Amino acid sequence: MPSTSLVLSEALPGGAPGARREEAFLADRAAMERFLAGIERRAFQAARLAVRDRDDALDIVQDAMLRLVRHYSHAPESEWPLLFFRILKNRILDHQRRGSVRRRVLAFFGAGDDPDDDYDPIAAAPGPRSDAPDLRVALDGAMGALEQAVAALPARQREAFLLRTLEGMDVAQTAAVMGCSEGSVKTHYSRAVHSLRATLGDHW
């Protein structure tokens, strides 16, 4: 039997429980939209540097968004960044694994032995926003060189570097996303910075 105060409280201004639930839903939805809008560009940047393909990176980001909403929208908002980047990392890993398997299968059946067989100079010509590394460097100078160098890092070093510098996560948060110890994060991050400084010496 609900208490009188409880019954009265539901009759007070503020609406019925259903209406309050709808308000809460809309507030949570707005929070999710703000979060996704605030994170999507950097997520795309991280994915593109990892898979080196704009369209694949967009697909990966969309998949990560959907999975976050599907599985973790009821998690506390403060946990969304870690959950999202953990999902994003796994989607990137899946993409790279599928690419690796595809290459092995093609190699097994003899495809891809001679990359010039199917070379189409028109299809290979860079577009106005091409990710072709040489054009990017020419267009963007130091920025292109940085992106190229980050993309060339080993996966774990790149993850640690981007989560720390692009996302601004601390060591503990980065370790949570990467699923490793804080010591490993420090090691990967340190090696990434040293490698990038060595590579970009002429540009920076």
Partner 1 sequence: MSSNRPDDADERFASEAGRRLRESADGLDAATLSRLNRARQAALAEYDARGRPPAWLAGGWQPALGAAAVAALAVALWIGRDPATPAPAAQEARGDAALDLEVVLADESLELLEDLEFYDWVGNEADPGSEAGPGLTG
The distance of closest approach from Cβ of residue 32 to partner 1 in the complex, given in angstroms and rounded to an integer, is 6
Look up residue 160 and give its two tokens.
């640690």
Gap between the Cα atoms of 169 and 163, Å rounded = 6
Looking at 87-95, 107-115, 141-149, 172-180, which segment touches partner 1 (CB under 8 A)? 141-149
For residues 17 and 115, which CB has a smaller minimum distance to partner 1 in the complex? 17
Widest pairwise Cα distance in the chain: 81
Look up residue 117 and give its two tokens.
């067989």
Residue 153 near partner 1 by CB under 8 A: no
| Residue whose token pair is 């996704």 | 36
Q: Which of residues 52-111 bind partner 1 (CB under 8 A)?
A: 54, 58, 61-62, 65-66, 68-70, 73-74
Residue 186 near partner 1 by CB under 8 A: yes
Under 8 Å between Cβ of 149 and 143: no
**For partner 1, what does the binding mask look like between residues 18 and 47, x meaning CB under 8 A?**
xx-xx--x--xx--xx--xx--xxx-xx--
Question: 184-191 contacts: CB < 8 A, separation 24 or more?
Answer: 184/156, 185/160, 188/156, 188/157, 188/159, 188/160, 188/161, 189/157, 189/160, 189/161, 189/164, 191/157
Chosen residue from 162, 176, 177, 178 binding partner 1 by CB under 8 A = 162
Show the CA angle centred on residue 162, arms to residues 156 and 166, nearest 5°.
Answer: 170
Per-residue DSSP letter, 78: G
The distance of closest approach from Cβ of residue 111 to partner 1 in the complex, given in angstroms and rounded to an integer, is 30
For residues 33 and 103, which CB has a smaller minimum distance to partner 1 in the complex? 33
| Contacts with partner 1, residue ranges (CB under 8 A) | 10, 16-19, 21-22, 25, 28-29, 32-33, 36-37, 40-42, 44-45, 54, 58, 61-62, 65-66, 68-70, 73-74, 129, 142-143, 146-147, 150, 161-162, 164-166, 168, 183, 186-187, 189-190, 193-194, 196-197, 204
